[in-house]
Amino acid sequence: MAIETATPASIARAAKALADGELVAFPTETVYGLGADATNADAVARVYEVKGRPRFNPLIAHVSNREMADVHGEFDLTATALADAFWPGPLTVVLPRRGVSRICDLVSAGLDTIAVRVPSGEVAQDLLHAANCPIAAPSANRAGHVSPTTAQHVADDLGADVNIILDGGATAHGLESTVIDCSGPQPLLLRPGVISRTEIEGVLGRKLGKPLQNNQPASPGQLASHYAPNTKVRLNAHDVLPGEALLAFGKNTPETNGPCINLSPSGDLREAAIGFFSALRTLDTTGCETIAVMPIPDEGLGEAINDRLLRAAAPR
Ligand code: TXA
Ligand code: MG
């Protein structure tokens, strides 16, 4: 494994590695992805292996633009409106798969749908252009662990199993893309993410549905325990107990002598999202028994942060 600063030369090497069936971790505007050529089944299989990811949890295919997305998925009016509004950017749409797509079945984990996204991150875009293939990429962490927002996070989690880690600094948003299922009659919010429900409903002029828990196609990534640090997590904390670290938000934080990170002293949810995964990782290394987390408002980006927190706190 080598962490390489993203430059035209290292991006060209990374593109060659993808063509050779190797794995490349790269930054997007959301989190770092663990990328493989989506048309190479062996390489995609290695992504599942390296992550320790259950085979039933499908991957997102990253493409450089809408035209490339059209090759792989069928856009209806809803998907078109969302792509027009938010691409390139932190939005993933789940579409019926097109027969002509050469993306291997393993990417969709056997479903007849495909998740596609056009990232806006500059390194991701440069890599997609240089590689000239769809890149299947889950977040570049061990399955179930905290998502990586820096190249070092990737190295800590996956180390020697990745051929190249392109370093483009800390990611802009710090949280994953919003996943919308556009394959059925009503668009469904499969995963809250950087783009809020309100923004999406504003563009569509209608409410988003919720996937039924035991109904297909649910988003299999939405397992109860996920995004989890090794340390226990206690939510809605208004105080700090002995032996606890504090993940704070806003002004009125409880007193503590223990480790404490404030996601945003001014109460800004965007700032909180950017530092969120990194803060969980840092507090996870303090040796504390539990991470106490102050309440985060459940509006805008807060919905996505609270979604991750609930999973981080879920029984393992
Ligand atoms: O921001 C992001 O989306 C990052 C960056 C790297 O692009 N990627 C990411 O991938 O978070 P991953 O694999 O950690 O999460 C993908 C989510 C999972 O919840 C998965 O179940 C869902 O998308 N998904 C993928 N394909 C699907 C499909 N065909 N139907 C339903 N859900 C799907
Ligand atoms: Mg993930």
Q: Is the pLDDT of residue 55 over 90?
A: no
Average model confidence (pLDDT) across the chain? 92
Rounded Cα distance between 9 and 21, Å, is: 19
- Position 211 scores a pLDDT of 80
- Within 6 A (CB) of ligand 1 lie 28, 30-31, 33, 57-60, 92, 94, 108, 111, 113-115, 117, 137-139, 176-177, 179, 190-191, 217, 219-222
Q: How much is the pLDDT for 165?
A: 98
Q: Residue 56's pLDDT is what?
A: 65
Does residue 214 carry a pLDDT above 50?
A: no
* pLDDT attached to residue 28: 98
- In this prediction, residue 218 carries a pLDDT of 46
227 CA to middle of ligand 2, Å? 7
Cα(256) to ligand 2 centroid in Å equals 32
pLDDT of residue 134: 98
Sketch out the chain's domains with CATH numbers.
2-204 (3.90.870.10), 232-312 (3.40.50.11030)
- Nearest ligand 1 atom to alpha carbon 175: 1
Closest ligand 1 atom to 218 CA: 31
Ligand number nearest to the C-alpha of 180: 1
Q: Does residue 212 carry a pLDDT above 80?
A: no
| Residue 53 binned pLDDT confidence (cut-offs 50, 70, 90) | confident
- How confident is residue 215, by pLDDT bands cut at 50, 70 and 90? very low
Q: How far is the CA of 268 from the centre of ligand 1 (A)?
A: 26
User: What six digits make up the tokens of 57?
Assistant: 């949890």
**Residue of minimum CA distance from atom 15 in ligand 1:** 138
Cα 177 to ligand 1 centroid, rounded to whole Å = 8
- pTM for this entry: 0.86
Lay out the sheet containing 232-234: strands in order across.
232-234, 290-293, 244-248, 260-262
Report which of residues 30 and 224 the model is more confident about: 30
Task: Name the closest ligand to CA 54.
Answer: 1
pLDDT digits (tens, 9 = 90+) for 162-203: 999 999 999 999 999 999 999 999 999 999 999 999 999 999
Ligand nearest to the CA of 105: 1
pLDDT at residue 217 in the model: 38
Using the mean position of ligand 1's atoms as its centre, give its distance from the Cα of residue 89 in Å: 14
Residue of minimum CA distance from atom 3 in ligand 1 = 177
Lowest mean pLDDT among 179-183, 210-214, 242-246: 210-214
124 torsion bin: left (phi>0), alpha (psi -120 to 50), beta (else): alpha
Nearest Cα residue to atom 12 of ligand 1 = 138
For residue 214, the number of C-alpha atoms closer than 13 Å in the C-beta half-sphere is: 0
Tell me, what's the pLDDT at 216?
Answer: 41
CA distance 289 to 87: 42
Q: How confident is the model at residue 221 (pLDDT cuts 50, 70, 90)?
A: low
Dihedral through CA 132, CA 48, CA 273, CA 245, nearest 10?
-150
CA dist., res. 291 & res. 287, Å (int):
10
Query: What is residue 143's predicted lDDT score, i.e. its pLDDT?
Result: 86
Q: Which two tokens stand for residue 48?
A: 């599942």
Query: What spacing in Å lies between the alpha carbon of 284 and ligand 2's midpoint?
Result: 18
